[in-house]
Structure 1
């Protein structure tokens, strides 16, 4: 029994990583209607930024904070210089952000090389807990805790703050929000930076779990897109549920059906789309 508990906790830990990046992606898609295929690149950059800061003898926590801030600032720059000119032009957004993934990936190879790297687990969390006859790393429990705290923060921002009300209104009727005198472009910039920061956060936290390698941006983007599709556009709740499902399926699938784990993930997406084309928590778009 203990081995199943450990595997379930492992699946939830990976699910929390997927949730952090997918939450930013679904908010960007749902609020801004921007197809950002470069979102995985923010995950990649967050990891490598933290790795660089730690190589300068900064501790994990300071490196985490700085990596998230730098990634968010980079998101602001990209939104202001590039995305800002392409609102309402989905095809151009796809081409631009798809091209950005290659540019950022090649820059990462040039700066950091192509060798597999990893981020050391912080000393405070470099221990394990005993579950029956098995041990479970404390760091993975920390990742689960961060994901749950983030879910609570998103709930509070959405339902209890004026910013959340503006974002919800922007999802439903963007033109009306602008007519009320709210600077929609400023809101969009903030949302894009927030999404990029979440991707950077998940990248740093994922460093000790999955390592660092060029090409990880594409892998994580595919998974996060599946989470968004299952959960529904603009819904962080959907991302939370979808990410946990994907994390559990991947982890348990690699034990029971090692060659079919990703197939099961895609089958789940197909089933959800057949039953609820808008996703588990997505809104039905009226015609």
Structure 2
């Protein structure tokens, strides 16, 4: 029973990470833009949700309003900053988007203050559900799995079955060619960047009730998102999905069961402290192994 619960926790974490990594792989894979500020959009989605939920006194309505708010913020960032970086090298992109991280952190400090915020789990999900007879599971976490799966399916349909998805896939393969065919590249890039921001904001607001809403909350998770798109293959939505599920299981299952294994060699306090670090290291070991076996990632296009 405990193993099944931890697997579900890993699935929930993996789907949240997919929402963040999906937007990142869209911008990185299509625009060739290294956007370190993607984690800041994750943070802004959580803060938008905190504000809008307070204004509307409704978790659902506040969350639904926070998603387009983050989309619009992404559009503004693309038009004002990112658009000027496409022709620059990756070092210039890293430096500029790192500056955006500092800007957003200070913006949050000025508007919402230095203290963290909290979003309560909505009352209609503040209970447990029996996923199997005798196995209760928090309803909110189960809802995250359902929503994450639905969004993943929606994104798969969008990329594979729509005209916008066709342009996204074409842009990932050869953006100069689709520009030569008359496609408005600037508009496409703005939409894709805004879409990526919306996914990041969705991940942030969904994670907020089970994590603290604070300045810099997206900085650490961004590193893992980059690892996910490297494992899955840059520009591959399918790869980001598979890799995110892998990373989620490694992290959660490792944190849950490694302490018991390590207690055979270490004292309980040391085992509990070492398990999270080892779980993180295992993620990078998997990335290194994938890159040795397939340098373009699991589903990346071979050059």
8 Å contact from structure 2 (residues 10, 250) kept in 1: yes
Q: What is the DSSP-based 3-state SS (H/G/I as helix, E as strand, rest coil) of the residue aligned with 1:260? A: helix
Q: Residue 216 of structure 1 corresponds to which residue in structure 2? A: 217
Q: Which runs of 5+ in 1 are unaligned?
A: none
Q: What is the DSSP-based 3-state SS (H/G/I as helix, E as strand, rest coil) of the residue aligned with 2:300? A: coil
8 Å contact from structure 1 (residues 128, 135) kept in 2: yes
8 Å contact from structure 1 (residues 33, 88) kept in 2: no
Q: Residue 160 of structure 1 corresponds to which residue in structure 2? A: 161
Could you report, residue by residue, the CA deviation over 1:231-278 in whole angstroms, capped at 9, with x for unpaired residues?
Answer: 111111111111111111111111223241101111111111111111
Q: 1:209, CA displacement in angstroms? A: 1.8
Q: 1:260 aligns with which of 274, 278, 283?
A: 278
Q: Residue 122 of structure 2 corresponds to which residue in structure 1? A: 122
Q: What is the DSSP-based 3-state SS (H/G/I as helix, E as strand, rest coil) of the residue aligned with 2:136? A: strand
5 Å-filtered alignment, 1:1-287, equals 2-89=1-88, 90-130=90-130, 131=132, 133-257=134-258, 258=275, 259-285=277-303
Find the aligned partners of 2:93 and 2:61 in 1 and give their Cα distance.
Answer: 34
Q: 1:110, CA displacement in angstroms? A: 2.7
Q: Larger C-alpha radius of gyration, 1 or 2? A: 2
Q: 1:53, CA displacement in angstroms? A: 1.3
Find the aligned partners of 1:271 and 1:156 in 2 and give their Cα distance.
Answer: 31
Q: What is the DSSP-based 3-state SS (H/G/I as helix, E as strand, rest coil) of the residue aligned with 1:206? A: helix
**TM-score, length-normalised on structure 2?**
0.90
**TM-score, length-normalised on structure 1?**
0.95
8 Å contact from structure 1 (residues 72, 194) kept in 2: yes
Find the aligned partners of 2:201 and 2:230 in 1 and give their Cα distance.
Answer: 21
Q: Which runs of 5+ in 2 are unaligned?
A: 259-274
Structure 1 runs of 4+ with >4 Å offset: 131-134
Q: 1:133, CA displacement in angstroms? A: 4.9
Could you report, residue by residue, the CA deviation over 1:54-77 in whole angstroms, capped at 9, with x for unpaired residues?
Answer: 222431111111111111111111
Give the total of aligned pairs. 284
Q: What is the DSSP-based 3-state SS (H/G/I as helix, E as strand, rest coil) of the residue aligned with 2:182? A: coil
Q: 1:112, CA displacement in angstroms? A: 2.1
Could you report, residue by residue, the CA deviation over 1:136-181 in whole angstroms, capped at 9, with x for unpaired residues?
Answer: 1111111111111112112211221111111111111111101111
8 Å contact from structure 1 (residues 75, 196) kept in 2: yes
The root-mean-square deviation of aligned C-alpha atoms, in Å, is 1.3
8 Å contact from structure 1 (residues 230, 238) kept in 2: yes
Q: Go from structure 1 to structure 2 and tell me whether the alpha carbon gap of 1:154 and 1:57 turns closer, same or farther (over 3 Å shift).
A: closer
Q: Go from structure 1 to structure 2 and tell me whether the alpha carbon gap of 1:107 and 1:3 turns closer, same or farther (over 3 Å shift).
A: same
Find the aligned partners of 1:120 and 1:246 in 2 and give their Cα distance.
Answer: 27
8 Å contact from structure 1 (residues 43, 203) kept in 2: yes
